[in-house]
Structure 1
Amino acid sequence: MNPPIIQRFKDYYSDFDQQSVESLGELYAVDMHFRDPLHQLDGLEAVQLYFEELSRDLTHCRFEFLHEMVNASCAYFHWTMHYAHPRIKGGQALSLNGVTHIRFDDRVLFHEDFYDMGAMLYQHLPLLGWAVRSLNQRLLRGSTRP
């Protein structure tokens, strides 16, 4: 049986866009550490500010948990994030796969997300997206020359 924090974690992210940043205090320890491809943050307050900014213009965002590995003090989740933002690909619904590692006791002490920033953001921006898609196609063909 999983520790209660695991279900609270999954419930929060399953409806991420419906959650308040204030409720993060029920999930995360005050002195927690957070990492993702863009940030390293120390402390609950820093994470609350980051999530507030991150979710400000989201049309929707939810996480679908596909697999998990849990023991007494850490867990790994494989997920798909379903999201839409008006400034990313014209607000279209998008999906992104990733993995989260957490360490916990009664609250999350450490949270690290692993995902492809190109797949999440860069390839959906007009000029940068064209460059990222072109580079990906060249790499798939086995050459970086035009």
Structure 2
Amino acid sequence: MYYTAYQNALSKTNSAPAPDNADQLFRNVFNNLQSADLHAAIDESYAKQFYFNDTFKTITDSASLKDYLSKTGRAVTKFEVTLEDVVQSDEDVYVRWTMTMQFKVLGKTIDSHSVGMSHLRFNEAGQIIVHQDFWDGADAFYQHLPVVGFWVRAIRNRL
């Protein structure tokens, strides 16, 4: 289902050349996840309507993204995204990043590190209209959960 939604988003967007500050718009949102500035960063960085998929959830409007990312920020004790590389190809921007996240599961502190890449497209106003993440959420999050984590690790070990 996400494949089709992503392909539809790519075909239906009227993207414009990426702004010079494309990487900063991305960084402003994801390094403010636990900040009072998060909503303002989303308003600056994202159009009112867009396609966003982080492999966990698909979102198409700024109010829902604000709610989702605010909840994510409150659910973790630490969250940081480091941009490792930014590449532009026509109107497409690809951001390779490392994410460090700390959260608690059953009273145990989990430090999670993962790598990923985000595909971004922008509108004429320089705001994000397509944001598709490519990363392994199972490695970063699910493997640390009781019961679910056991099965994720067991399946991986069998492959």
In 2, the alpha carbon distance for the partners of 1:11 and 1:128 equals 32
Aligned to 1:20: 37
Q: Report the TM-score when normalising by structure 1.
A: 0.82
Aligned to 2:104: 86
CA displacement at 1:19 relative to structure 2: 5.6
Aligned to 2:132: 112
In 1, the alpha carbon distance for the partners of 2:140 and 2:37 equals 23
User: Which residue identity does 1:123 align to in structure 2?
Assistant: Q
Answer 1 or 2: higher relative contact order, Cα 8 Å, separation at least 6.
2
User: Which residue identity does 2:102 align to in structure 1?
Assistant: A
- The structure with the larger Rg is 1
Alignment partner of 2:151: what SS? helix
Aligned to 1:29: 47
**Deviation digits for residues 42-97 of structure 1, max 9, x if unmatched?**
11111111111222221010111112212453211111100011238822221011
Choose from 2, 17, 42 the match for 2:60.
42
CA RMSD of superposed structures (Å): 2.1
Superposed counterparts of 1:1-146, under 5 Å:
3-18=20-35, 20-23=37-40, 24-71=42-89, 73-87=91-105, 90-105=108-123, 106-139=126-159
Aligned length: 138
Q: Report the TM-score when normalising by structure 2.
A: 0.76
In 2, the alpha carbon distance for the partners of 1:47 and 1:10 equals 15
Alignment partner of 1:38: what SS? coil
Deviation above 4 Å: which 4+ runs of structure 1?
Answer: none
CA displacement at 1:112 relative to structure 2: 1.0
User: Which residue identity does 2:137 align to in structure 1?
Assistant: M
The answer to whether the 8 A contact 2:23-2:95 is kept is no
The answer to whether the 8 A contact 1:88-1:121 is kept is no
Q: Which runs of 5+ in 1 are unaligned?
A: 140-146
Q: Which runs of 5+ in 2 are unaligned?
A: 1-18
CA 1:91–1:40 in 2, change beyond 3 Å: closer, same or farther?
same
